[in-house]
Structure 1
């Protein structure tokens, strides 16, 4: 039950981020004179990079958004990999953690304290920091959100088109929001394929809620954002596939060495 609450909490945070962009937060054009730490040191530098990238790409702001999305994802890759490894390590300990939960009465404060002490010993003996999986996510979120707002508040984007879309307006044919939603769905399917059955079941709600949120937001928000979400999903699918492929190679290599011994 607690895990489900955590997942629902994460969903609410993501929904809040999307909702704030569309409904309440400052969407005035971002410039070098914009005040405040968030605008001046986070949003504006990314807006400037989008503009410079567009100049390199012969004025195509659509290609600039896609290129910058890939660059930012590559920059964040080490953090994502650390988060992935921490999550995988925690999965290996899951059977032991479940045994501890069954061993102690969760309603008894004394027994709950003993259980937490044994869990900490288990983490220490395994060389795992349970907080390590959260820290990379906390670092990634401000960067991704700053890029999100840089797209919304870069005035040049709103006045340019890409393919069939005016980047500053919702996609008139709703093609890109649907592609973004489909990309998110496939990304989540791929990322949970190698999870335990229990973890995959807990993530099932997000299979459908996240793509629906992306499609719904894409219908109302500028097409530039749907392009950003779609590109990000494509990158994440490729990244996840490569990580899992390397893990399978490592497992086969270890198995071969074990059999040789």
Structure 2
């Protein structure tokens, strides 16, 4: 079953490359963007829900602090009171949908990576990259820059921790792509570009919400 799935993706990549003038690299980027754009309405909605949850939690912080002082060292009593407060304001765990998205993305991503690996043997060059079967330093820098842009644009991340936290995924993405075949790095780049789009759309929605509340 898995091999059929990978073979199907590999065939799709070959057809896309043929339709794009024989460019395997362009086909990889196109496939990555198609997959992420198909999931964008879902992931954007989850990101907006996460932003609303963060804003609500920030507003409830004084009440949570008061509950912590009230219950002292009784951790169970505090947990029950905090849970009741969260429920009162419609704050759920928020993990179910996120896990479902991961459950969908993980096998698809793994299958695409396997299909790309199969096609790398016959892949040639792309843009400045001489061989898609080997890592490329400039591509790693490009993916790191896209990761940085997505995190910087994300309004759900508090400004006081953004500088510290944004460097970890940026560094991780750079090191990973630098040690991957460039063909796989191109998939990462295509996906990261949609992440930037998602962060920009979320930022726009947040601004619209703020504007409408101010007008009201």
Q: TM-score, normalised by structure 2?
A: 0.81
In structure 2, do the counterparts of structure 1 residues 98 and 227 end up closer, same or farther at CA, with 3 Å as the change threshold?
farther
Counterpart in the other structure of 1:118:
81
Conservation of the 8 A alpha-carbon contact between 1:159 and 1:167: no
Q: 1:2-32 deviations in whole A, cap 9, x for unaligned? A: xxxxxxxxxxxxxxxxxxxxxxxxxxxxxxx
Q: Which runs of 5+ in 2 are unaligned?
A: none
Q: 1:100-146 deviations in whole A, cap 9, x for unaligned? A: 256337984xx222222223322322233213463344335413343
One of 131, 136, 149 as aligned partner of 2:114: 149
For 2:100 and 2:165, locate their aligned partners in 1 and report how far apart those are by CA, in whole Å.
20
Conservation of the 8 A alpha-carbon contact between 1:57 and 1:63: yes
Counterpart in the other structure of 1:29:
none
Q: Which runs of 5+ in 1 are unaligned?
A: 1-36
234-243 or 137-146: bigger deviation:
137-146
Cα distance, 1:70 vs structure 2: 1.0
In structure 2, do the counterparts of structure 1 residues 139 and 86 end up closer, same or farther at CA, with 3 Å as the change threshold?
farther
Which secondary structure state, in structure 2, belongs to the residue aligned with residue 131 of structure 1? coil
In structure 2, do the counterparts of structure 1 residues 120 and 232 end up closer, same or farther at CA, with 3 Å as the change threshold?
same
One of 239, 244, 248 as aligned partner of 2:203: 244
Cα distance, 1:98 vs structure 2: 6.1
- The alignment status of 1:130 with 2:89, answered yes or no, reads no
Higher RCO, Cα 8 Å, sep 6+:
2
The 5-angstrom pairing of residues 7-156 of structure 1 reads 38-41=2-5, 43-95=6-58, 96-97=60-61, 99-101=63-65, 103-104=67-68, 108=73, 111-132=74-95, 134-142=98-106, 143-151=108-116, 153-154=117-118, 156=119
Counterpart in the other structure of 1:7:
none
For 1:141 and 1:102, locate their aligned partners in 2 and report how far apart those are by CA, in whole Å.
41
For 1:98 and 1:138, locate their aligned partners in 2 and report how far apart those are by CA, in whole Å.
33
RMSD: 2.7
